[in-house]
Amino acid sequence: MTKFILILSILAIIKIETLEEGENMLNDTIAAISTAIGEGGIGIVRMSGDDSLNILSKIFKSPKDKDIKKIKSYTMHYGFIIDPETNETIDEVIVSYMKAPNTYTREDIVEINCHGGVVAVRRVLATVLNNGARLAEPGEFTKRAFLNGRIDLSQAEAVIDLIRAKTDDSMSIAVNQLKGKLSEKIESLMDRLLGALAHIEATVDFPEDDVDELVINKLNNNLKSLVEEIDYLIKNAETGKILREGLRTTIVGKPNVGKSSLLNALLQEKRAIVTDIPGTTRDVIEEYINIEGIPIILVDTAGIRKTVDVVEKIGVEKSKEYLENADLIIFMVDASRPLEGEDFEIIDLIKHKNVIVVANKVDLPQKIDFNLLKENFSIIVKASVKAEHGIDAIKEKIVDLVYQGKVTTKNDVLVTNIRHKDTLIKAKEIIQKGIETLNSGLPLDLASIELKDGYLKLGEITGDTVAEDIIDRIFCDFCIGK
């Protein structure tokens, strides 16, 4: 039992260390513009920290001469921001005050609602900074919410996913994560690991007993089902990543097959120029579309062919670059013509990738040899973009590829973040090693070393057991004012 207690105390120390390191920087009051700059009718300057209300009292004047230091939490007040040095009125505003600890950061928060536009908001921010606040780093408000224990790390990461969500589905996954659904799942896995550890320690404390076969079996079963659950999360993470980041989908093909026509059809607008002249598209066109909740970054490229035209040549090189980074390639061919050299060149470039072949122009007499396509690709859709035929079939194939036959409901816990996925993969490997050790005939407590490591690894997802540099890297990706 003593070792079990030792493990718990190690965990406690790790936790205290992360909190203490954070505390040094938590004393000052930070400020930033929290709304898009120069857009919209109102802009918000937000402060967080002990000094927020005091700073406000230096720069705010209410027409009714209210004592701003005595206002109640969660109330709003009308007045003016005045530069105390020059007595100049900067803006007419409404301010709100939220008293710690029931706030976004768990610190005192003051928000100044100014007139939108670039100048007003920037000058109000400058006044706040001149009177005692420090400019917040990107994500620092949310980082404080994390360091002060209101949310854990995976919840904090969900905040940025929420802001960047491109479809309703990616939004609802982020909201679930913000509400702590992923954390609950990870914590329950960690609890079960701790249970297994306790079990091992209890057994090791009675060395005179033979290690019971039953005990090992039970541990094995528990740990294997734990690994299966981790595996399930890892398997679905590919879908999760696409829902979070979007599916990079590149349309390629030789000139004039109808690539830009397909982009326009999927976008339902005349975005790209379409002509019957081969080599019409010269630059890369990138647009967002939403197919049944899946965010798609759709890329139309210059038709790939050998050309002496300098501009087109650069376009063709770019097309090839985009092929490299695509999650999915839509390879378009002209069904009214036999496959030719340029098609085969492209086939060579893409045959080992994720490809949907679209055989376009089936409204015309067909001359293409489908067997040649089938030799290299398994998904082939016949379409006539001009006759608006086959577009839905293309969308269906995309959805199938993303979900790969798996039905994930909105309430399923879905891992969307690569950091989480990588951490789960590592945790799984460590726990599997633990299972091996457990069954190797070596002393049981050797396995507990690995299981403890697995526990610490899982804790990196919620931030329970995570190094400062990882935390810094996460928050520096945030936008300013969040």
Ligand X SMILES: Nc1nc2c(c(=O)[nH]1)N(C=O)[C@@H](CNc1ccc(C(=O)N[C@@H](CCC(=O)O)C(=O)O)cc1)CN2
Ligand Y SMILES: Nc1nc2c(ncn2[C@@H]2O[C@H](COP(=O)(O)OP(=O)(O)OP(=O)(O)O)[C@@H](O)[C@H]2O)c(=O)[nH]1
- Kindly tell me which residue out of 75, 275, 404, 439 binds ligand Y, with binding defined by CB under 6 A: 275
User: Residue 148 or residue 239: which is nearer to ligand X going by CB?
Assistant: 148
Count of residues touching ligand Y (by CB under 6 A):
24
Q: Which long-range contacts (CB under 8 A, 24 or more apart) does 407-410 make?
A: 408/236, 408/239, 410/169, 410/172, 410/173, 410/176
Q: Could you tell me how many residues make up the chain?
A: 482
Binding residues for GTP: 256-261, 275-281, 300-303
Interface mask toward ligand Y for 382-421; x: CB under 6 A? --xxx-----------------------------------
- State the binding partner of 229 from ligand Y, ligand X, Mg ion, none, CB within 5 to 8 A by kind: none
Binding residues for (6S)-5-formyl-5,6,7,8-tetrahydrofolate: 46, 111, 150, 482
User: Residue 291 or residue 359: which is nearer to ligand Y going by CB?
Assistant: 359
Which residues share a beta bridge with 288? 297
Binding residues for K(+): 256, 275, 277, 280
d(CA 440, CA 177): 39
Contact residues: ligand X, CB under 6 A: 102-104, 111, 150
CB of 385 to ligand Y, least distance (A): 4
Q: Are strands 30-33 and 134-135 parallel, antiparallel or unpaired?
A: parallel
Which residues share a beta bridge with 380? 357
* Residue 104: half-sphere exposure toward Cβ, Cα within 13 Å: 19
User: Residue 96 or residue 280: which is nearer to ligand X going by CB?
Assistant: 96
* SS3 of residue 200 by DSSP: helix
Interface mask toward Mg ion for 245-264; x: CB under 5 A? --------------xx----
CB of 27 to ligand Y, least distance (A): 59
- State the binding partner of 103 from ligand X, ligand Y, Mg ion, none, CB within 5 to 8 A by kind: ligand X
Given phi > 0 = left and psi -120 to 50 = alpha, else beta, which region is 159? alpha
Contact between 138 and ligand Y by CB under 6 A: the answer reads no
CB of 475 to ligand X, least distance (A): 14
- State the binding partner of 104 from Mg ion, ligand Y, ligand X, none, CB within 5 to 8 A by kind: ligand X
Interface mask toward Mg ion for 259-298; x: CB under 5 A? xx-------------------xx-----------------
Residue nearest to ligand Y (CB): 303
Report how far apart the first and last C-alpha atoms of the chain are (Å, whole number).
45
Binding residues: 46, 111, 150, 256-261, 275-281, 300-303, 482
CB of 251 to ligand Y, least distance (A): 8
Which amino acid is it at 113?
N
User: Residue 100 or residue 349: which is nearer to ligand X going by CB?
Assistant: 100
d(CA 317, CA 315): 5
Kindly provide the b/e burial profile for residues 129-168, where b requires at least 16 CB atoms within 10 angstroms of the residue's own CB.
bebbbbebbbbbbbbbbbbbebbbbbbbbbbbbbeebbbe
Nearest to 252 by CA among 358, 396, 120, 115: 358
Q: Do 106 and 146 form a contact (C-beta atoms < 8 A)? A: no
Which residues share a beta bridge with 31? 47, 135
- State the binding partner of 258 from ligand Y, Mg ion, ligand X, none, CB within 5 to 8 A by kind: ligand Y
- State the binding partner of 102 from ligand X, Mg ion, ligand Y, none, CB within 5 to 8 A by kind: ligand X
The phi and psi torsions of 325 (rounded to 5 degrees) equal -95, 5
User: Residue 106 or residue 421: which is nearer to ligand X going by CB?
Assistant: 106
- State the binding partner of 6 from Mg ion, ligand Y, ligand X, none, CB within 5 to 8 A by kind: none
CB of 386 to Mg ion, least distance (A): 14
CB of 91 to ligand X, least distance (A): 17
Interface mask toward ligand Y for 248-267; x: CB under 6 A? -----x-xxxxxxx------
- Kindly tell me which residue out of 203, 280, 307, 376 binds ligand Y, with binding defined by CB under 6 A: 280
Q: Name which of residues 308 to 347 contact Mg ion (CB under 5 A).
A: none
User: For 85-151, what is the HEC assignment?
Assistant: CCCCEEEEEEEEEECCCCCCCCCCEEEEEEECCHHHHHHHHHHHHHCCCEECCCCHHHHHHHHCCCC
State whether the Cα torsion 264-270-273-274 is positive or negative.
positive
CA dihedral 168, 169, 174, 177 (to 10 degrees): 140
Binding residues for Mg(2+): 260, 281
Write the burial class of residue 70 (CB in 10 Å: 0-12 exposed, 13-18 middle, 19+ buried).
exposed
CB of 458 to ligand X, least distance (A): 25
Count of residues touching Mg ion (by CB under 5 A):
4
d(CA 362, CA 367): 10
Q: Do 174 and 158 form a contact (C-beta atoms < 8 A)? A: yes
Binding site for Mg ion (CB under 5 A): 259-260, 280-281
Binding site for ligand Y (CB under 6 A): 253, 255-261, 274-276, 278-281, 302-303, 360-361, 363-364, 384-386
